[in-house]
A and B are shown apart, each in its own frame.
Chain A
Amino acid sequence: MSDDSIQDVLAQAACVASAQTPPKIRIRNLGKSFETRRGRFAALDAVSLDIPEGCFFMIVGPSGCGKTTLLRILGGLESESSGSVEIAHSGSGRPENSMVFQGDSLFPWMTVWQNAAYGLVMRGRPKTEIKETVGHYLSRIGLSRFADAFPHQLSGGMRQRVSIARAFANDPEILLMDEPFSALDEQNKLLLQEELLRIWDETRKTVLFITHSVDEAVTLGDRILVMSAHPGKVKMVVNVPFERPRHVLELRARPEYGALVYNIWDELRDEVRRARAQDEEGVRS
């Protein structure tokens, strides 16, 4: 992309950080390393990022680039080894973040309704509020009729919808989504992407969304962070110029869409190759 077109892209992007408003999430020199039997393993190294309020922020990178680690640090499930994460609170008493996990994370012993209400119940919200909010999100994901079903009675796509409803119903300031659609087939994935965008449009919360699919990143995101692997670093941040609300299928027919996917893949390809070479080396040694 030429400099001009990058300027255009920046102007169009929905969530450009400005000097006046501080970012919702400010990450500085974030590092994370684990002790393993083969010595210290650096999962993240010197990651610095500003994520503006209301931004649908996508993170793509080869597997093992520390995407999930980054999200888990933001979600309070892991602590950083170095650097800092600052989150600007609105002071409204809402929870800071809620996570949509990769894979099955619904409690098998709770019904769909109980699962979706989990965050609100843990926070001790009044019964009427819980009833209204959970009812709203279950109807938004089209699962009102399954409120009393157990997760094992649902398909994988339905379970992931409930998991999204659980996070939205908790009304967090930031939504953290860890490859929520990676286990789904292509048709289901497309429908869920549309549903997610529709629900997100109601509130336009700040979202951090991890994916290994460049298509998904371009379809959903305002900005895309491309990460490099071993250790995970910021390789580049790309703005996505498409207007909202978006129609997932129509978007794919546009030439700019293809060009953007191609450009990101071009950057990512080297990283994937490098990660693979390192993995193979690791196996040999």
Chain B
Amino acid sequence: MSIAKKARVAETRTKVRSARNRDRLIGLVSPLALIVLWELCVQSGAIDARFFPAPSQVAVKLVALVVSGSLWTDTAASLTRLFWGMLLGGIPALLLGIVMGLYRPIRAVFDPLVAATYPIPKSAILPLILLIFGLGEASKIVMVATGVFYPVLINSMAGVMEINKIYLDVGHNFKASRWQVFRTIALPGAMPLIMTGIKLGVGLGLILITIAEMVGANSGLGHMIWNAWEILSVETMYVGLIVIALLGFLFSLALTELERWLVPWKTAH
């Protein structure tokens, strides 16, 4: 590469990077602006502090909960359940989704089952899951798993089916085995949509873990929020909401980074 060309490449890279940094900055500033506005509204008496405590009051509560260690215990409990639920639901969904995308007969078997069970609200099966798995950790993990399972499955399958047929022809012509087709074509080819599925799944998982913990748990962020309602500690409810929102935000950041790393040929554009 000539020096001029190198400089040009470096210049466009810098441009891309600064645009990316700008997007990240905006992503941080917009929620902060909302918090400031809220504080002003409460201070001026424009909104009722009993229902919408000022961010400063919530912050005081947050510090208190951090100091007492209970916030950390609850967050850790939720995260652990979320993690195992993701694995329990995500990995089978990924494998089944790709296999369904690749092989028509397998799709014919599972497609109606997926279509029939997918629309059931996952929160509606919580009582059944509590009945089957009891009040312990298993029921929470299974709840998360059911939420993660469908978006990952459906997106993995769609991802494989959207792979240009010519790539499968190449695999066939170059004598790739079934496993090689799976690993070198189906999995990377479907990866952009699989990542979409995982993002949706994490979001749903967060919703479901909160619901599950409200009903049958004595730890976790959902339990913390429900407990706060019972003792009318509105600030604690907000702390719980903020932590959940923050977790969702961090997950989405982490998954975007993961996507850049796993799908360099798409995100490099």
Do A and B associate with each other? yes
The residues of A with any CB-CB pair to B shorter than 8 Å are: 75-77, 95, 97-99, 101, 103-105, 107-110, 118-119, 122-123, 145, 150-153, 170
Q: Is the CB of B189 within 8 A of A109?
A: yes
Q: Is the CB of A107 within 8 A of B185?
A: yes
Restricting to B164-179, which residues have a CB under 8 Å from any CB of A? 166-167, 169-177
Q: Is the CB of A105 within 8 A of B174?
A: no
| Contacts A77-B172, A101-B170 given; does A145 touch B265 at CB 8 Å | no
Question: Which of B173, B265, B269 has the most chain A CB atoms inside 10 A of its CB?
Answer: B173
| Contacts A105-B167, A107-B167, A107-B184 given; does A152 touch B265 at CB 8 Å | yes
Question: How far, in angstroms, from A118 to B175 measured CA to CA in the complex?
Answer: 10
- A-B CB proximity, top 3 nearest: A109-B188, A119-B174, A99-B173
Does B1 make an interface contact (CB < 8 A)?
yes
A176 CB to closest chain B CB, in angstroms?
A: 8
Residue from A104, A122, A150 in contact with B175 in the complex, judged by beta carbons closer than 8 Å = A122
B123 CB to closest chain A CB, in angstroms?
A: 37
Q: Is the CB of A101 within 8 A of B169?
A: yes
Interface pairs (9), CB distance under 8 Å: A95-B174, A95-B175, A99-B173, A101-B169, A109-B188, A118-B170, A122-B171, A122-B177, A150-B264
Question: How far, in angstroms, from A113 to B124 measured CA to CA in the complex?
Answer: 51
Q: Across the two chains, which residue of chain A brings its CB closest to B180?
A: A122
Q: Across the two chains, which residue of chain A brings its CB closest to B170?
A: A105
Q: Is the CB of A145 within 8 A of B173?
A: no
Does B4 make an interface contact (CB < 8 A)?
no
Q: Is the CB of B268 within 8 A of A145?
A: no
Question: How far, in angstroms, from A104 to B163 measured CA to CA in the complex?
Answer: 13
Question: How far, in angstroms, from A250 to B111 measured CA to CA in the complex?
Answer: 61
The B interface is mostly helix, strand or loop, or mixed, namely helix
Which residues of B are found within 8 Å of A110, using beta-carbon distances? 184, 188
Q: Is the CB of B176 within 8 A of A122?
A: yes
Does B191 make an interface contact (CB < 8 A)?
yes
Which residues of B are found within 8 Å of A98, using beta-carbon distances? 173-174
Which residues of B are found within 8 Å of A99, using beta-carbon distances? 169-170, 173
Which residues of B are found within 8 Å of A152, using beta-carbon distances? 265, 268-269
Question: How far, in angstroms, from A97 to B174 measured CA to CA in the complex?
Answer: 8
Which residues of A are found within 8 Å of B173, using beta-carbon distances? 75-77, 97-99
Other than the given A95-B175, A99-B169, 17 more pairs (CB < 8 A) read A75-B173, A97-B173, A98-B174, A101-B170, A105-B166, A105-B169, A109-B191, A109-B263, A110-B184, A119-B174, A122-B175, A122-B176, A122-B180, A123-B175, A150-B268, A151-B265, A152-B268
A97 CB to closest chain B CB, in angstroms?
A: 7
Question: How far, in angstroms, from A76 to B170 measured CA to CA in the complex?
Answer: 11
Q: Across the two chains, which residue of chain A brings its CB closest to B192?
A: A109
Question: How far, in angstroms, from A152 to B268 measured CA to CA in the complex?
Answer: 9
Q: Across the two chains, which residue of chain B brings its CB closest to A176?
A: B173
Which residues of A are found within 8 Å of B175, using beta-carbon distances? 95, 119, 122-123
Q: Across the two chains, which residue of chain B brings its CB closest to A77?
A: B169
Restricting to B135-188, which residues have a CB under 8 Å from any CB of A? 166-167, 169-177, 180, 184-185, 188
Which residues of A are found within 8 Å of B169, using beta-carbon distances? 77, 99, 101, 105
Which residues of B are found within 8 Å of A150, using beta-carbon distances? 264-265, 268
Question: Which of B1, B184, B266 has the most chain A CB atoms inside 10 A of its CB?
Answer: B184
Question: How far, in angstroms, from A76 to B176 measured CA to CA in the complex?
Answer: 13
Q: Across the two chains, which residue of chain A brings its CB closest to B173?
A: A99
| Contacts A122-B175, A122-B180, A123-B175 given; does A108 touch B265 at CB 8 Å | yes
A79 CB to closest chain B CB, in angstroms?
A: 12
A132 CB to closest chain B CB, in angstroms?
A: 19
Question: How far, in angstroms, from A72 to B269 measured CA to CA in the complex?
Answer: 33
A264 CB to closest chain B CB, in angstroms?
A: 29
Residue from A77, A109, A118, A170 in contact with B265 in the complex, judged by beta carbons closer than 8 Å = A109
Which residues of B are found within 8 Å of A108, using beta-carbon distances? 265-266
B175 CB to closest chain A CB, in angstroms?
A: 6
Q: Is the CB of B172 within 8 A of A76?
A: yes
Restricting to B215-269, which residues have a CB under 8 Å from any CB of A? 263-266, 268-269
Q: Is the CB of A107 within 8 A of B1?
A: no
Question: Which of B174, B189, B263, B266 has the most chain A CB atoms inside 10 A of its CB?
Answer: B174
B184 CB to closest chain A CB, in angstroms?
A: 7
Q: Is the CB of B1 within 8 A of A145?
A: yes
Q: Across the two chains, which residue of chain B brings its CB closest to A146?
A: B1
Which residues of A are found within 8 Å of B185, using beta-carbon distances? 107
Which residues of A are found within 8 Å of B171, using beta-carbon distances? 122
